[in-house]
């Protein structure tokens, strides 16, 4: 479909202005329901919703857009750890870790992800607190390793690992499971005195509909600071997963499965994530370079095996000449034309303060292609009104919804003052307003909004409010009281926005 044959999209809401108000601000005619907050009970056993909600995705029950499961990632604690474990992370010496065993257990339990059952009744979304699906996958949960690195010396010879944490964004599979991405695992490994860093930094698969299933970490997708996954199918039937490594000067990857996707095979398609080729992008040459030990002499010189390459992806990507990028955050595939959108959030090392959204065109529109071109689709800055793009979501008309992540320490000061608190922006990808950002939402003080996800009928947008009140000077003087107001302590959680 060429761009001019598509219906141009008009902005249907009255855009809001940047603001530093301590609330989740929406355009007139829209409202939010609080679905789950840190500490809420999620099942009859008494498991509770984790901290710092991030990636959020809705999986319908019986095709409904008003009843389903939400998977929600829980990323990190940071200085807000005090509210979870009682450990004074603000004043502690980071080199002298004095957390007790009990504090470490609370820390690990609060991260990972939650499965919650949600329902809209009488116009209001709510959490079902005794759901049979309600489940925590946390830093204490047993996981299985799959793929080339499972059982290899590169991971200490194990096929079983304990815990997932630093879960940032993610994606859904074509067989109704979710993928959760382990991002900045290093600080958690250090804080919780884990000695096994090679067990983290993977893409984790969870089946939210089977509360007894063991989550899997798919080593074929490589180990780095994974931001998210965007899954699609190539014309030849291979499964393709786009991924970014969110750190200064890290890389963009894609995985192409060896076998082909078969809809009838249902959940057995998970095997496609165990055998395939991991590529890394060279934007100068417009080429995807295979991180394939058997076929690459430079990799054979630098590494011992394919498992070793996968465990040390960053070093392997450097060896094959991949292009360092300005912090690749979310990647998403355009639902109409199949182009791949990539958020580059910023890179202070290069003076890229506002970030960009770039658009990648695979050769012949083939997601398994080894060549591509790209363009800058939208650039952050005072003129465009947004800075530090992070998670992306498309609606079915192909409009891009972008959340921003100006760090809480820079927010509302210096060059970032003009942007106010973090926002959610609407950007058409065709028509007269193509590339122009309109602000739809503004986050509470200190927070970023993460994991935007529409229900299939696009009448509800689920969104996480992560780390409200972060960057405080003392626990006696909180900077956010969202959502309960008064003198309450701010709580991270998930909301459902309606009015579309």
For the segment 122-181, give every residue that binds ligand FEO (CB under 6 A): 168
Nearest distance from residue 46's CB to ligand FEO, in Å? 29
Query: Which of ligand FEO, Ca ion, none does residue 274 bind (CB under 5 to 8 Å by kind)?
Result: none
The yes or no reply on residue 470 touching ligand FEO (CB under 6 A) is no
Name which of Ca ion, ligand FEO, none residue 81 binds, using a CB cut-off of 5 to 8 Å depending on partner kind.
Answer: none
Nearer Cβ to ligand FEO, position 47 or 405?
405
Number of residues that bind Ca ion (CB under 5 A): 6
At its nearest, how many Å lie between ligand FEO and the CB of residue 183? 5
Q: Please report whether residue 23 would count as binding ligand FEO according to CB under 6 A.
A: no
Q: From CA 469, how far away is CA 80, in angstroms rounded?
A: 8
* Residue 73 beta carbon to Ca ion: minimum distance, rounded to whole angstroms: 10
Residue from 47, 183, 274, 362 in contact with ligand FEO (CB under 6 A) = 183
CB closer to ligand FEO out of 168 and 463: 168
User: Does residue 405 belong to the site contacting Ca ion (CB under 5 A)?
Assistant: yes
3-state SS of the chain?
A: CCHHHCCCCCCCCCCCCCCCCCCCECCCCCEEEEEEECCCECCCCCCECCCCEEEEEEEECCCCCCEEEEEEEECCCHHHHHHHHCCCCCCCCCCCCCCCHHHHHHHHHHCEEEEEEEEEECCEEEECCCCCCCEEEECCCEEEEECCCCCCHHHCCCCEEECCCCEEEEEECCCCCEEEEECCHHHHHHHCCCCCHHHCCCEEEECCCCCCCCCEEEHHHCCCCEEEEEEEECCCCEEEEEEEECCEEECEEEEEEEEECCHHHHHHHHHHHCCEEEEEEECCCCEEEECCHHHCHHHHHHCCCHHHHHHCHHHHHHHCCCCCEECEEEEEECCCCCCEEEEECCEHHHCECCCEEEEEEEHHHCCCCCEEEEEEEEECCCCCCCCCEEEEEECCCCCEEEEECCCCCCCCCHHHHHHCCCEEEEECCCCCCCCCCEEEEECCCCCEEEEEEECCCCCEEEEEEECCCCCCCCCCCCCCCCCCCCCCCCCCEEEEEECC
Give the nearer residue to Ca ion in terms of CB position, either 69 or 403.
Answer: 403
Whole-number minimum distance, CB 362 to Ca ion, in Å?
19
When asked if residue 227 is in the footprint of ligand FEO (CB under 6 A), the reply is yes
**Environment class of 486 (CB within 10 Å of its CB; exposed 0-12, middle 13-18, buried 19+):** exposed
Q: State which of residues 182, 245, 390, 470 lies at the interface with Ca ion (CB under 5 A).
A: 390
Binding footprint of ligand FEO, residue count (CB under 6 A): 6
Binding mask 303-322 for ligand FEO (x = CB under 6 A): --------------------
For ligand FEO, the closer CB: 147 or 444: 444
Q: Which residues contact 241 (CB under 8 A, 6 or more apart)?
A: 171, 179, 203, 221, 229, 230, 231, 254, 255, 273
Phi, psi of 176 (to 5 degrees): 70, 30
As measured in angstroms, the least distance from the Cβ of 7 to Ca ion is 23
Query: Interacting stretch for Ca ion, rule CB under 5 A, among 98-106, 187-195, 370-378, 397-405?
Result: 397-405
Q: Going by DSSP bridges, is the β-strand pair 142-146/216-218 parallel, antiparallel, or unpaired? A: parallel
- Distance between CA 478 and CA 495 in Å, rounded? 22
Any contact of residue 229 with Ca ion (CB under 5 A)? no
Nearest to 184 by CA among 162, 167, 198: 167
Closest to Ca ion by CB, 155 or 168: 168
**Region binding Ca ion by CB under 5 A among candidate stretches 164-172, 194-202, 214-222, 366-374:** 164-172
In the complex, what is the shortest distance from the CB of residue 244 to ligand FEO, in angstroms, rounded to a whole number? Answer: 8
The site map against ligand FEO for 49-78 (x = CB under 6 A) is: --------------------------x---
Q: Side by side, which strands form the sheet with 160-162?
A: 160-162, 142-146, 216-218, 203-206, 178-182, 167-172
Nearest distance in Å: CB 254, ligand FEO: 18
Determine, following the binding rule CB under 6 A, whether residue 329 of this chain makes contact with ligand FEO: yes
Residue 428 or 451 with smaller CB distance to ligand FEO: 451
422 touching Ca ion, by CB under 5 A? no
**Interface mask toward ligand FEO for 228-247; x: CB under 6 A:** ------------------x-
Q: For ligand FEO, which is the closer residue by CB, 84 or 247?
A: 247
330 interacts with, out of Ca ion, ligand FEO, none, CB within 5 to 8 A per kind: Ca ion
If the CB atoms of residues 199 and 467 are measured against Ca ion, the closer one turns out to be: 467
Min dist CB 438 to Ca ion, Å, is: 19
When the beta carbons of 234 and 344 are compared against Ca ion, the nearer one is 344
Minimum CB distance to ligand FEO smaller for 205 or for 246: 246
| Euclidean distance between the first and the last CA atom of the chain, given in angstroms as a whole number | 26
For residue 391, the partner it binds in ligand FEO, Ca ion, none, with Cβ less than 5 to 8 A by kind, is Ca ion
Q: Which is nearer to ligand FEO, 287 or 314 (CB)?
A: 314
Q: Which of 117, 205, 330, 362 binds Ca ion (CB under 5 A)?
A: 330
Positions that interact with Ca ion (CB under 5 A): 168, 330, 390-392, 405
Binding site for ligand FEO (CB under 6 A): 75, 168, 183, 227, 246, 329
């Amino acid at each position: 479909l060429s761009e001019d044959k598509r219906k141009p999209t008009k902005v249907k809401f009255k855009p809001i202005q940047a603001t530093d108000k301590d609330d989740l601000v929406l355009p007139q005619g829209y409202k939010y329901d609080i679905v789950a907050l840190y500490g809420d009970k999620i099942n009859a056993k008494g498991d509770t919703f984790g901290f710092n909600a991030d990636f959020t995705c809705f999986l319908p029950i019986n095709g409904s857009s008003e009843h389903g499961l939400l998977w929600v990632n829980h990323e990190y604690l940071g200085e807000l750890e005090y509210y979870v474990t009682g450990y004074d992370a603000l004043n502690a010496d980071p080199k002298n870790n004095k957390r007790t065993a009990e504090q470490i257990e609370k820390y690990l339990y609060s991260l990972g992800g939650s499965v919650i059952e949600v329902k809209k009744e009488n116009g209001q979304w709510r959490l079902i607190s005794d759901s049979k699906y309600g489940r925590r996958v946390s830093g204490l949960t047993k996981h299985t390793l799959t793929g080339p690195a499972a059982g290899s010396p590169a991971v200490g010879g194990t096929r079983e690992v304990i815990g997932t944490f630093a879960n940032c964004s993610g994606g859904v599979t074509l067989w109704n499971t979710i993928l959760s991405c382990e991002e900045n695992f290093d600080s958690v490994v250090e804080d919780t005195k884990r000695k096994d860093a090679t067990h983290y930094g993977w893409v984790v698969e969870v089946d939210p509909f089977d509360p007894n299933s063991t989550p899997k970490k798919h080593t074929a997708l490589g180990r780095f600071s994974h931001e998210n996954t965007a899954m699609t199918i190539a014309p030849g039937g291979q499964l393709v997963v786009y991924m970014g490594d969110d750190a200064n000067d890290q890389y963009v990857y894609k995985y192409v499965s060896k076998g082909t996707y078969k809809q009838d095979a249902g959940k057995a398609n998970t095997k496609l994530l165990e055998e395939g080729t991991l590529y890394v992008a060279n934007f100068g040459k417009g080429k995807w370079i295979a991180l394939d030990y058997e076929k690459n002499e430079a990799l054979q010189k630098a590494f011992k095996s394919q498992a070793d390459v996968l465990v040390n992806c960053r070093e392997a990507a450097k060896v094959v000449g991949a292009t360092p990028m300005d912090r690749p955050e979310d990647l998403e595939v355009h639902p109409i034309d199949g182009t791949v959108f990539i958020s580059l959030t910023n890179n202070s090392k290069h003076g890229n303060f506002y970030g960009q959204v770039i658009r990648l065109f695979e050769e012949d529109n083939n997601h398994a292609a080894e060549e591509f071109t790209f363009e800058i689709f939208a650039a952050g800055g005072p003129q465009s009104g947004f800075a530090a793009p992070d998670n992306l979501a498309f609606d079915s008309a192909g409009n891009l919804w972008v959340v921003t992540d100006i760090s809480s320490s820079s927010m509302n000061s210096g060059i970032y003052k003009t942007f106010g608190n973090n926002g959610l922006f609407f950007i058409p990808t065709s028509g007269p307003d193509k590339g122009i950002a309109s602000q739809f939402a503004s986050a509470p003080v200190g927070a970023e909004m993460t994991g935007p996800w529409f229900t299939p009928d696009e009448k509800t947008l689920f969104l996480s409010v992560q780390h409200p009140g972060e960057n405080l000077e003392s626990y006696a003087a909180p900077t956010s009281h969202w959502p309960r107001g008064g003198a309450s302590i701010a709580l991270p959680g998930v909301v459902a926005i309606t009015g579309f």
